[in-house]
Every structure is written in C-alpha cells, then in structure tokens.
Amino acid sequence: MSLSERIVFTTGSPLPRPSRWSGLLNGRTASVVVMAIVGGGFAWHVRQQAPTPGGPLGLSLGIVGFLMMLGAETLYTLRKRVRGFTRGRMSTWLQTHIFLGLVGAFLIVLHGSGKFHGLAGVASGVMLVMIVSGFVGRYLYTAAPRTLDGVEIDARELMTRFAQAERNLQALGIRLAARDVAELSIDADLPGWLAVLGRSYLLWRQRGRVRRYVRRLPLAGKSSGVELRRILVDRYELQLDIRSVAATRQWLAWWYVLHVPLGWVLFTLATIHIVAALYYSRA
C-alpha cells in the first residue's frame, strides 16, 4: 500500500478539534499581557497615591471593567443565540469572551482596591466564581467533539468514524488478537466522567502501549509503523470520545445552569451598585 492510498484512511480519524488548551492559551495569553500592563501601571500609581474606588483611576477602572464584562457576557451569547448573527467563527468569539471576561474581572478587582465589602463585595465574589466557572466551562467545551465550525458531533457520527478506523486497520492487514484488542482499546468499564477528566493521561498512556505493540509487529518499513501507530491512537481517541460524549454533554448542561445565572446575578448586583454610586456621587 502506497502512502497516497493511506491518506484515504484519515476519514477514520477523530474529528479535527482545537487543542484543548490552544484557544484558552490564545485568549489567556492576550489577557495576561493586558493584565500585566494594566497591573504594572496600577502598582506604579499606588506608590504615588493610595487607590480609592471613587477616585479618577478607580472609577475609570470600574467603568471599563464593567463594560468589558458586559461585552464578554452579551456578545458571545448573541453570537450563539441570534440566528442572523453569524459573523466570525465561534472559537474566535469564545476567545474574545474569555479575554473580555478575564481582563474585565481584573479591572473590577483593581477598581475595588482590594475591598470586598457590602454589595460590591458580594458582586466581586460572584464575579470571581464566574471566572472559575468559566475555566471549567472552557475545559468541558473542548472536551466535547466538534466540527471545525464548533458544531457538536453526536455519538452516531462518532461510531461511523470508529468503524472507518477499523476498516483502515484491516486494510493495513492488521487483525487484532483478543488480547491485543484489550490492550489497544479503552477499558470496558471506564466511566464517562473519567474519560472526560482523565483524557490527557489516558491518551499519553495509550501512545506508549501502541508504540510497544507496533514494535512487536514484523512490519516492512518505518513508514508503515508510523501509519499504524496513528491509526491505533486515533481509534483509541474515538473510543474515548464515544464514551465521554454523553457525560460531557450532561456536565455542560449543569455548567450552563450555574454559569449563566451567575451572570444574571452579577449584572443585577453590579447595576444596583452603579445606581447607588451615582446616587451618592455628588462631590
């Protein structure tokens, strides 16, 4: 079998998914850079004058932070919910959501000047819980198999792709013995939540097993070994996707129940805080 023929086997591979951390890294890297710059400036200002939430700087940070948080909450939701709003890829909007959420929250914390008291303190606490929740949501989001456009793939499609992977294996002339099947497949009793949370570890462990298995086979050339390893690892990953897809979707549903209402609570409290501040703002 020539290499060009083997390319056909890619249809049996798992769906192309963004790296679990790549989107977050992009959004996070931008956030870290901006936060470092703003934080440095704020630290310099603190050396000159004690910060106050109602001071020129504190007030500016509060306004900008609130607007960023508002943007983080509304823009991504609008992209998801409004049918006619299809501009940009969902992954890009997600990274924007992460960037605005992280930096906005950071500015709000600076605006509070380390105070977590009263209604504003409660709002800040809710905001921090939202940030943690956002990190969890991001992990669950990337754990669910999707198309390049971010559309989730259901279990049936995953089974089809797994069957194609099995055929690719047979086309290579590999027939897995019963003991090899146990070694190269996921455990029959692997729980769905472990398939989600332990995905990285399981894949790392399986790569080692596949390497040892291929080494035992009398293959003609090096390229055949590489191809076989890729097929076997993709097959294992498809098995993980099939096992975890149900659990991932369930968790995502629960996550929405927490994350979205937190957003409503946060913006309600923030609005009350802003109204009160404006009411007593006469200098």
Q: Which residues bind other proteins (CB under 8 A)?
A: 48-50, 52-53, 112, 115, 117-121, 250, 253-254, 256-257, 260-261, 264-265, 268-269, 272-273, 276, 278-283
Instruction: Choose between 126 and 240: whose C-beta lies nearer to other proteins.
Output: 126
| Measured distance CA(151)–CA(162) in Å, rounded | 19
As measured in angstroms, the least distance from the Cβ of 6 to other proteins is: 41
As measured in angstroms, the least distance from the Cβ of 174 to other proteins is: 41
Question: Could you give the 3-state DSSP secondary structure of residue 51?
Answer: coil
Question: Could you give the 3-state DSSP secondary structure of residue 90?
Answer: helix
Instruction: Choose between 37 and 272: whose C-beta lies nearer to other proteins.
Output: 272
Asked if 229 contacts 211 with a C-beta cutoff of 8 angstroms, the reply is yes
| Measured distance CA(107)–CA(131) in Å, rounded | 13
Which residue's entry shows tokens 């508002």?
70
Burial class (CB in 10 A: 0-12, 13-18, 19+), 19: exposed
As measured in angstroms, the least distance from the Cβ of 47 to other proteins is: 9
Q: What are the structure tokens assigned to 206, written together?
A: 């399986």
As measured in angstroms, the least distance from the Cβ of 263 to other proteins is: 9
The residue type found at 275 is V
Instruction: Choose between 49 and 223: whose C-beta lies nearer to other proteins.
Output: 49
As measured in angstroms, the least distance from the Cβ of 98 to other proteins is: 21
Instruction: Choose between 235 and 273: whose C-beta lies nearer to other proteins.
Output: 273
Question: Could you give the 3-state DSSP secondary structure of residue 230?
Answer: helix
The residue type found at 31 is S
